[in-house]
Amino acid sequence: MSIKNLIKFLFYPVIILILNNSSPGREPYSWTYNFERGKKQFSAQMYNDALDSLKLALKKNPRSYESANIIAKIYLLKKDFYSAEKYYHMSLEINDNQAGIHLSMGEIDEYFQRDESAMKHYKKSVSLAPDNPVFLVSLSRIYYRAGQSAESEKYFKLAYENGISQSMPVYMKAMELKKNNPVKATGEFINAIELNPAHIDAYMGLSDAYRQTGEYDKAIETLEKLKKIKPDYALAYIHLGSMYYNNKPDMKTRKYFIFLAIKNYETAIKLDPDNPDTYFRLAEIYKRINNRDKAAELELKGAGLIMKDK
């Protein structure tokens, strides 16, 4: 056999294999390759590249709800809630037994003020994972928005009870750290909240730790989150009223933050009308903005509550 024929004999099968695998219209990799590639790109925050990879994976395998879930997460990061909803909906059509995805769909529904649909998703998430504090807290919140306070309290209590054994040791560690190292304490408070979003004291501790470090915006943000989790917790509104009034020196926005302080104190009074201190705090603000009549009215109510308790 000549050298030329020998080369053909040895390399012809390899050439055919290469040509077959790279022929036009044929993808060289399976959907799992694109999916794994997309996951790595997502982890590396290469979101546009991840979208390309994951959409290709979904095209190759239309049943890949995992691909749809990550695509939806990317669109949420981009604040494109309509696209996120589209892909979460696609995912649930493939696999309806995903508690976390029902939670995300409920949150999107809340964003668009579709409370009835949100409740259905939160109920489904709780039915799939009845002991999960995150799902229970979300269901509690939507019941509160629907005016069903008894159901709201029921699910909040369940969330607290199911998560407290995990969050309490972390919370206690954070409280000890806060005495001398409030910066480090914030991380532990955040961990406690992630373990149990119904642990109210962890939010209060975190907000106080931020105030110790002078991070008032973060302290306010923490209590605003607590208001969302537990809308009927009066103390959160009282603390926010104080911070909005006292810790916003920018004169350009001073009027707006005084307005926020008043609104929070007013809500606190509605939730806990028997606390005289809140009336006096709000009266002080009205004095500062020269509404003496309103201030006098509030002081009179606060004094009346004090006399009533004697």
Per-residue confidence band for 307, with pLDDT thresholds at 50, 70 and 90: confident
Tens digit of pLDDT for each residue in 93-140?
999 999 999 999 999 999 999 999 999 999 999 999 999 999 999 999
Query: N- to C-terminal Cα distance for the chain?
Result: 116
Residue 17 has pLDDT above 50, yes or no: no
pLDDT at 306: 87
Question: What's the pTM value of the predicted model, to 2 decimals?
Answer: 0.82
284: amino acid identity, one letter: E
N residues, the chain: 310
Rounded CA-CA distance 108/285 in Å is: 37
Cα 135 to chain center, whole Å? 12
Lowest average pLDDT, out of 4-13, 129-138, 290-299, goes to 4-13
Q: How many Cβ atoms are within 10 Å of 274's Cβ, its own excluded?
A: 9
Rounded CA-CA distance 52/49 in Å is: 5
For helices 234-246 and 254-271, give the axis angle rounded to 10 degrees.
160
Q: How many Cβ atoms are within 10 Å of 237's Cβ, its own excluded?
A: 25
Q: Which CATH superfamily is domain 26-88 in?
A: Tetratricopeptide repeat domain (1.25.40.10)
pLDDT at 309: 74
Task: Write out the two tokens for 133.
Answer: 């504090």
Q: From residue 281, how far is each of 73, 137, 245 by CA, in Å?
A: 43, 31, 10
Tens digit of pLDDT for each residue in 36-85?
999 999 999 999 999 999 999 999 999 999 999 999 999 999 999 999 99
Residue 156 has pLDDT above 90, yes or no: yes
Q: Where are the domains of the chain?
A: 26-88, 233-310
Per-residue confidence band for 269, with pLDDT thresholds at 50, 70 and 90: very high
pLDDT at 28: 62
pLDDT at 305: 87
What's the mean per-residue pLDDT of the chain?
90
Tens digit of pLDDT for each residue in 278-294?
999 999 999 989 999 99
Q: Which CATH superfamily is domain 233-310 in?
A: Tetratricopeptide repeat domain (1.25.40.10)
pLDDT at 27: 53
Tens digit of pLDDT for each residue in 209-258?
999 999 999 999 999 999 999 999 999 999 999 999 987 656 667 888 99
Residue 11 has pLDDT above 70, yes or no: no
Per-residue confidence band for 159, with pLDDT thresholds at 50, 70 and 90: very high
pLDDT at 97: 97
pLDDT at 275: 94
3-class SS letters over the chain:
CCHHHHHHHHHHHHHHHHHHHCCCCCCCCCHHHHHHHHHHHHHCCCHHHHHHHHHHHHHHCCCCHHHHHHHHHHHHHCCCHHHHHHHHHHHHHHCCCCHHHHHHHHHHHHHCCCHHHHHHHHHHHHHHCCCCHHHHHHHHHHHHHCCCHHHHHHHHHHHHHHHHHHHHHHHHHHHHHHCCCHHHHHHHHHHHHHHCCCCHHHHHHHHHHHHHCCCHHHHHHHHHHHHHHCCCCHHHHHHHHHHHHHCCCCHHHHHHHHHHHHHHHHHHHHHCCCCHHHHHHHHHHHHHCCCHHHHHHHHHHHHHHHHHHC
In our burial notation (b when 16+ CB lie closer than 10 A, e otherwise), range 84-105 reads: bbebbebbbeeeeebbebbbbb
Residue 2 has pLDDT above 80, yes or no: no
- Same CATH topology for 26-88 and 233-310? yes
